[in-house]
Amino acid sequence: MVRRDEVRNGEKTVTMPETPDAGVVFIGRIHTPWTDRLTCPRLGRMDGPICRIEIFEPWVDALKGIDEYERLEVLYWLHQSRRDLILQSPKNDGIARGAFSLRSPVRPNPIGTQNVKLVRIEGPNVFVQSLDCLDGTPLLDLKPDRDLFTPIAPRQTGDDETRNAAS
Ligand code: SAM
């Protein structure tokens, strides 16, 4: 799996659909010290190295207001991951778990998310701590950390609904 794309004892692959259901746009690129999956942190830490998130045009104006938040949520595309491994053995001991029970980079849609500390913004560059991805990882999205964000638009009925069962 993540080590070198191998399939280990007890793991299971599936055939991926030939056509995707939706597309994404890479809005930037993440610059980190790590060039190898074997040395990259498994989960970033808030006192980790300062990394640079470069936003591409025409998306730079979308940074307006982001400096109000001490922490951000970063979503990125783990572009070196295989996508077909649904049972995985993280310890390589023959015991497999489902991809959705792990934060493994190997998943049908290899989206990584990380809460990071905002250090500073310089033009199209957002400097943060706590990332855990390879240098050159494509950026999907940036949002305020959910714990710091209060919706700015007026409340709507669903905001006050509780205990309704989904059909
Ligand atoms: N924090 C994210 C999350 O929880 O969704 C990612 C966690 S994932 C366990 C981090 C690991 O993914 C790294 O240790 C590295 O092995 C691998 N990785 C990092 N960047 C990657 C990339 N661009 N493509 C594939 N694998 C990557």
pLDDT in tens, 73-109: 999 999 999 999 999 999 999 999 999 999 999 999 9
Distance CA 89, CA 126 (A): 35
Q: Is the pLDDT of residue 167 over 90?
A: no
Cβ of 35 closer than 6 Å to ligand 1, yes or no, is no
Q: What is the pLDDT of residues 126-151, one digit of tens each?
A: 999 999 999 999 999 999 999 999 99
Whole-structure pTM value: 0.94
Domain CATH for 73: 2.40.30.70
Total Cβ atoms within 10 A of residue 154: 6
Domain extent for 42: 27-77+107-147
The predicted-structure confidence for 18-48, as pLDDT tens digits, reads as follows: 999 999 999 999 999 999 999 999 999 999 9
Taking a C-beta distance cutoff of 8 angstroms, is the pair 66, 72 a contact?
yes
Pocket test of ligand 1: the residue of 37, 71, 97, 103 to mutate, having most ligand atoms within 8 Å of its CB, is 37
pLDDT at residue 2, as a whole number: 61
Q: Structurally, how many domains does the chain consist of?
A: 1
Kindly tell me the burial class for residue 39, based on how many C-beta atoms sit within 10 Å of its own C-beta (0-12, 13-18, 19 or more).
exposed
Cis preceding-peptide flag for 58 (omega within 30 of 0): yes
Whose alpha carbon is nearest atom 22 of ligand 1? 78
Q: CA-to-CA distance for 107 and 85, rounded, in angstroms?
A: 7
In a domain, 131, yes or no: yes
Distance 39 CA to ligand 1 centre (A): 11
Q: What is the pLDDT of residues 115-132, one digit of tens each?
A: 999 999 999 999 999 999
Quick check: is 166 in a domain? no
